[in-house]
C-alpha cells in the first residue's frame, strides 16, 4: 500500500503541477478555463467558482485544464466571451500558456531541492583519497589512501569536485598539493600531519556518467566516499536547491542528447513500470530519497514535454514560434498530419520503454 500511495501522490502530483502551470498563466492572461480537474474520468466532487468548474475526478493520476477555444476556436461555452478564447489570442500569449507546463515542472524540481537542502543540509564529497593507482603520478609523488587534499597551487580545495576540476584544468602542468595525512591509522580527526608534494597529471580516458569515454587529466586516485553535511539557512538552501536542480536539468538534457547520438543504448530507456518501481523503492527507504527522485522525474517530465513533437507542448511552441516569425499560422492540414505523426512517435516510444521495463524484470527474475 505504501508503494501504491507513493506512486499515486508522486505521478499524480507531478502531472497536476504541470497542468497548474498552464492554468495559472492562462488565467493571468485573462483566458477562460471551463474546467480544472484533479484526476481524470468521472467527477467525484465538483464546485464552481466564477466561470471555472473545479473537480476531483475518479482516477487520481494527474489532471487536466480545459481552456476555452483550445480545440475549436468557435467553441465558446456559455458564459464565456470570444476575448477569453485561447485560440483567438496572439501567438506569443498561447506560447506562454503552453510553455508554462514544462516550466512549472522545473520550478517544482527547484522547490523540492530547496526543501531537501533546508531540511537535510548540503552533502559534500570530501577531497579524501580512498585508493591510489600503483603506477600513477599520485603514487610517484607519495600520496596515500587517507590523505586529504587541502589546497592545489595555493587554492583551497573543499570538495572532491573541486579537486577533479583543478586537476583537469591543469593541462598537464605540475600541481603543488598541500595534504593532511593521519598521524596513524587510529588518528583522531585532529591528529594530522601537513605535507606538501608535486604531482604531474597525465592525459587518459575515463568513463562519464553516461558510459562513454572522454579524455581528461588525471593523477590516479579514487575518492574515499566520505561526505560532510552542512546545515543551511532558508535562503542559502534556496541557492543550493537551484544549483542542484540546474545539475539535474543539465544531466537530463545531456542524457537525451547521448540517447539520440546512440552513446546511451535504447535499452536504457525506462517507462512507467520502472518509474513505479523506483518510487516504491524510495518510498520504503526514506522521505529524502523520495523527494530527490520526485524532483528528477519532474525535470524529465518537463524536458520531455519540451521536445518539438507536435502532440507535446514543445510541438505547440514550434507552431506558435512559426506564427510569430512568419505572421501566419501553419496550415491546419499540416498541423493535423503533424499531430498524427507525433502520436505515432509517442506510441512507439511508450512501447519501447514498456518492452525495456518488462525485459529488465524478466532478466532480474532469471
Q: What amino acid positions are annotated as catalytic residues?
A: 19
Sign of CA dihedral 41, 47, 52, 56: negative
Residue 329 gets which letter from DSSP? Answer: P
**Site of grid cell 592525459:** 203
Sign of CA dihedral 306, 308, 312, 318: positive
Q: What are phi and psi of 90, to 5 degrees?
A: -55, 155
- Count Cβ atoms within 10 A of the Cβ of residue 45 and give its class: 0-12 exposed, 13-18 middle, 19 or more buried: exposed
CB atoms within 10 A of CB 37: 20
Of 197, 198, 182, which Cα lies nearest the Cα of 148? 182
Q: What are phi and psi of 291, to 5 degrees?
A: -65, -40
The neighbouring-strand residues paired with 23 are none
d(CA 146, CA 152): 17
Q: What are phi and psi of 30, to 5 degrees?
A: 80, 15
Across 183-293, where does the E strand assignment appear?
192-199, 202-207, 213-218, 221-223, 227-230
d(CA 175, CA 162): 14
Amino acid at each position: 500500500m505504501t508503494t501504491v500511495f507513493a506512486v499515486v501522490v508522486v505521478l499524480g502530483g507531478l502531472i497536476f503541477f504541470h497542468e497548474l502551470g498552464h492554468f495559472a498563466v492562462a488565467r493571468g492572461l485573462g483566458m477562460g478555463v471551463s474546467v480544472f480537474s484533479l484526476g481524470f474520468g468521472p467527477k467525484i466532487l465538483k464546485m464552481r467558482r466564477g466561470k471555472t468548474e473545479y473537480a476531483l475526478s475518479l482516477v487520481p493520476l494527474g489532471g487536466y485544464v480545459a481552456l476555452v477555444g483550445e480545440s475549436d476556436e468557435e467553441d465558446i461555452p456559455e458564459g464565456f466571451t470570444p476575448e477569453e478564447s485561447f485560440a483567438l489570442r496572439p501567438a506569443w500569449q498561447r506560447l506562454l500558456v503552453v510553455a508554462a507546463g514544462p516550466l512549472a515542472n522545473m520550478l517544482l524540481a527547484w522547490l523540492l531541492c530547496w526543501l531537501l537542502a533546508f531540511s537535510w543540509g548540503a552533502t559534500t564529497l570530501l577531497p579524501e583519497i580512498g585508493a591510489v593507482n600503483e603506477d600513477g603520478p599520485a603514487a610517484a609523488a607519495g600520496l596515500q589512501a587517507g590523505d586529504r587534499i587541502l589546497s592545489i597551487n595555493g587554492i583551497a580545495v573543499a570538495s572532491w569536485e573541486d579537486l577533479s576540476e583543478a586537476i583537469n584544468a591543469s593541462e598537464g602542468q605540475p600541481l603543488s598539493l598541500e595534504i593532511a595525512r593521519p598521524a596513524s591509522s587510529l588518528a583522531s580527526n585532529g591528529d594530522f600531519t601537513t605535507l606538501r608534494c608535486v604531482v604531474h597529471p597525465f592525459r587518459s580516458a575515463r568513463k562519464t556518467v553516461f558510459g562513454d569515454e572522454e579524455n581528461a587529466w588525471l593523477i590516479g586516485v579514487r575518492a574515499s566516499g566520505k561526505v560532510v553535511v552542512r546545515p543551511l539557512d532558508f535562503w542559502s538552501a534556496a541557492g543550493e536547491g537551484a544549483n542542484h536542480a540546474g545539475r539535474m536539468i543539465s544531466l537530463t538534457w545531456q542524457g537525451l542528447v547521448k540517447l539520440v547520438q546512440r552513446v546511451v543504448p535504447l535499452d536504457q530507456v525506462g517507462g512507467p513500470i520502472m518509474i513505479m518501481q523506483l518510487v516504491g523503492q524510495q518510498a520504503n527507504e526514506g522521505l529524502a530519497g523520495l523527494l530527490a527522485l520526485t524532483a528528477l522525474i519532474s525535470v524529465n517530465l518537463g524536458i520531455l514535454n519540451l521536445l518539438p513533437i507536435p502532440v507535446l507542448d514543445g510541438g505547440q511552441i514550434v507552431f506558435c514560434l512559426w506564427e510569430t516569425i512568419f505572421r501566419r499560422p501553419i496550415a491546419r492540414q499540416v498541423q493535423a498530419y503533424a499531430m498524427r505523426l507525433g502520436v505515432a512517435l509517442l506510441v512507439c516510444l511508450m512501447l519501447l520503454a514498456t518492452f525495456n521495463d518488462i525485459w529488465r524484470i524478466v532478466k532480474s527474475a532469471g
